[in-house]
Amino acid sequence: QQPVQSPQAVILREGEDAVINCSSSKALYSVHWYRQKHGEAPVFLMILLKGGEQKGHEKISASFNEKKQQSSLYLTASQLSYSGTYFCGTLVIQGAQKLVFGQGTRLTINP
């Protein structure tokens, strides 16, 4: 039930673009994205609540393809501050609901 993220790690130069994918073998009701910098707590980026939804936050945006059971996070013209590990979380409904996070994608931005 844990969503699968790809790639596991990405190394970019400042200004390059990146795409991080999150997919699930089960139906997706919503997708949550968080970023965690080294030694810090995860910080919320955005939630996508329905299929077809797209959201943006500065140069970070995401899409949610309900039929394909996947979401993608797009980082455009990456900045040094974008470095960190990105987690997607999906709502799992098995009796009680709960949010299950993927393994994370480590993004390194070099000058």
Partner 1 sequence: DAGVIQSPRHEVTEMGQEVTLRCKPISGHDYLFWYRQTMMRGLELLIYFNNNVPIDDSGMPEDRFSAKMPNASFSTLKIQPSEPRDSAVYFCASSHRASLDNEQFFGPGTRLTVL
Identify which of residues 82 and 86 has a Cβ nearer to partner 1 in the complex.
86
**CB contact at 8 A, 24 and 5:** no
Identify which of residues 77 and 99 has a Cβ nearer to partner 1 in the complex.
99
Of the candidates 20, 19, 26, 18, which has an alpha carbon nearest to the alpha carbon of residue 90? 26
Could you say which of 25, 38, 67, 95 contacts partner 1 (CB under 8 A)?
Answer: 95
The verdict on 44 binding partner 1 (CB under 8 A) reads yes
User: What is the distance of C-alpha 16 from the center of its chain?
Assistant: 17
Of the candidates 52, 58, 61, 50, which has an alpha carbon nearest to the alpha carbon of residue 86? 61
Interface stretch with partner 1, choices 6-14, 18-26, 61-69, 92-100 (CB under 8 A): 92-100
Please report, as ranges, the residues that interact with partner 1 according to CB under 8 A. Answer: 2, 29-30, 32, 40-44, 47, 49, 87, 91, 95-104
